[in-house]
Amino acid sequence: MKTIPAIAIVGAAVLAASAQAQSVDAQPATTGLHAGDVLVRLRAIMVAPNEKSGGINPTFPTEKVKLDNSFMPEVDVTYMATDAIGFELIASTTKHHASGTTGTTGSIGRLASTWVLPPTLTAQYHFNSHGSIRPYVGAGINYTIFWNEKAAPGLVAAVGPTKVGMSDSVGWAAQGGIDVDLTPKIFANLDVKYIDIRTNARLDTTAIGTQIVHVKLDPLVVGVGLGMRF
C-alpha cells in the first residue's frame, strides 16, 4: 500500500513536467531571428539620385541633366538562411523627371519622365540576431528597368514630337539598417541603400535629330516602416 502514494507522486510529477514542456513549446520566441524565418517589411522610401551626366550629344555637349527625388511605398522579403545571415529581395517602382541644368535645355526645364523598377537582391548579416534590436549590413546586385519613358511637354514644344528610350542597367548595391522589435512578431525598420545605376538616354526628336546622354543615377534609397516575422 505504501507504493501507491509514491506512484501517485511520481505520476503527478511526470504530468506536471509534460504540461510545462507543452506550454513552453506552444509559446513563440519573443525576440530574435532564427534560421527559416521569413521577414516581410512595408516601407515608405525616398529615392534620391546622385546623378552625374555627360553632355547631350551631339547638339548640346556642354549641357547636363538632373533627376528629381521620388517617394513611394516599398515591399521587401527576407529569408533567414541561418540565425544571422539572410537574403533580401525588394520590389518597388518610382517615377522621376529629368531636367536640363544650363543653357538651352536648362531654359526648357523638364525634358522627360520615366518610371524606374530596380529589383535588388542583397545578402545580409544581422548583428545581435537573437536580441530585440538588430542592426544589419548587406551587399548584392541590382537590375534596373526603365519603363514608360515620355518626353515632357516643354521639350515637345521646343523640338517637336520626341521619342524617349533609356537602357536598362546592372550594378551593385550596398545597404545598412536596423530592426527593433515592437511585439514578438512585429518590428520597426530603418533601411538605407546605395544602388549603382547607369543608363543611356536616347531622344529621337523632330527638329534636332537624335540626342544621346549618359547618366549615372547612383541613388540613395532611405526607407522607414514596419515588418512582420513569420
pTM of the model: 0.81
Show the cell assigned to 131. 536580441
User: Which pLDDT does position 154 carry in this prediction?
Assistant: 92
User: Which pLDDT does position 31 carry in this prediction?
Assistant: 75
Chain-wide mean pLDDT for the chain?
88
User: Which pLDDT does position 30 carry in this prediction?
Assistant: 60
- For residues 177 and 136, the answer to whether their CB atoms sit within 8 Å is yes
Domains of the chain in start order, with CATH, are 31-229 (2.40.160.20)
| pLDDT < 50 regions, the chain | 1-27
User: Which pLDDT does position 91 carry in this prediction?
Assistant: 85
Residue 152 main-chain phi, psi, to 5 deg: -75, 155
Residue 91 main-chain phi, psi, to 5 deg: -140, 115
Distance CA 173, CA 64 (A): 25
List, for residues 140-151, the tens digit of each pLDDT value.
Answer: 999 999 999 999
